[in-house]
Amino acid sequence: MQLIPDTNLKPYHTFSIEQYCHALVEVSSVKDIVDAYNRSEWQALPKLMLGKGSNLLFTEKFEGVVLINRLKGISHNEDDQFHYLHIEGGEDWPSLVKWCVNQGIGGVENLAMIPGCAGSAPIQNIGAYGLEFQDVCEYVDVLYLDSMETKRLSSLECQFGYRDSIFKRELFEKVVIVSIGMKLNKQWKPITHYGPLKALDSATVTPEHVFDAVCDIRSNKLPDPRVQGNAGSFFKNPVIAKDQFDQLQQQFPDIVGYPSGDEIKVAAGWLIDRCDLKGFSVGGAQVHPMQALVLINTGEATAEDVVCLAQHVRQQIWSKYAIALEHEVRFMGQNQETDLDTIKGRVDA
């Protein structure tokens, strides 16, 4: 267990913004996690388990201990019908998807190139191009922080929803995800009904074809965080009542929306684009000129720049469409997770 005091977090999150924490420790086993939480001088300090830092903005110095997830390992079993994968929480998610495709295991190729580690996938219930993590999840292994005991939760117990799970609600800050289990059907069926994937030939398509297509789409659509700091899609696609969508459609006939149960999921990128916000900047933070759903660090952005830009975007969308955008990116404050409403309230006060 490697300990680094007073650490600059810039290399540990994909926004690449300078921000510090009280201490940083790399953990490579469940025992390391337990030892870090039980360390006497850290008992009163907040803790944060961090994977790739691909969906996180540190809004100020974190006065606690950041644990970098280095739990590694993939095991594979199979029967006549399914592939069963057990993946340690620190495994890189894009590498995992590529490994599956290279092994001839289909079922997760639509989730290619989503940045982050395996242990983060259940929290957000990551999803793309017609597939969500819940569709392939068999279980999630967690470490309960009150008892320091591990327990296996079934997919049903994880209470997955759209970019949501029990880990963002009832189990928030009560558990650490240490590994996941995936169950992939050998009777592979391609998911190609979303956007550009429709162009693939359903008669000849393979998991590798879908993987390559998704990688190509994402490479052209989203900025590489290794080159330009960002956290991917900044806002969730809002879900609104069908009546409200119908009214908006009368005023904006080309508005983009998809059925979501009895409601409609609206494309947040379309809303931002139609407010002419592409390229709009606050300090060193900018709405990506080509992809309206992504906020980027142009090189010298501060956390305050990103927060102010996000608030401006949300206000513009509300003024024009009466739709409240919710940020998908997690905000970490001095001692705990926060959000735009809390930050705005603190500033207004």
Catalytic site includes residue 95:
no
Rounded-to-integer distance, Cα 194 and Cα 198, Å? 6
Catalytic residue selected from 138, 304, 328, 337: 328
Q: What's the CA gap between 259 and 266, in Å, rounded? A: 9
The span from the CA of 86 to the CA of 2, in Å, is 26
163 counts as catalytic:
yes
Residue pair 15/57 in contact (Cβ under 8 Å)? The answer is yes
- Residue 277 makes CB contacts below 8 A (sequence gap 6+) with 287, 292, 313, 316
**DSSP H/E element including 348:** helix 340-348
Task: Find the catalytic residue in 132, 165, 233, 314.
Answer: 233
Residue 330 is a catalytic residue? no
**DSSP E strand stretches across 255-328:** 257-260, 263-266, 281-282, 285-287, 294-297
**Which is the catalytic residue, given 70, 163, 314, 330?**
163
Which residues are CB-contacts of 177 (< 8 A; sequence separation ≥ 6)? 49, 89, 119, 120, 122, 123, 140, 141, 142, 167
Q: How many residues in total does the chain contain?
A: 349
Contact predicate 343/59, CB 8 Å: yes
DSSP structure class, residue 306: H
Determine the Cα–Cα distance for residues 67 and 47; give it in Å rounded to an integer: 7
Range list of β-strands (E), 70-225: 74-78, 82-88, 127-128, 131-132, 137-144, 149-154, 175-185
The DSSP code for 208 is H
79 and 98 Cβ atoms separated by less than 8 Å: no
- φ and ψ at residue 249, rounded to 5 degrees: -65, -30
Please list the active-site residues: 163, 233, 328
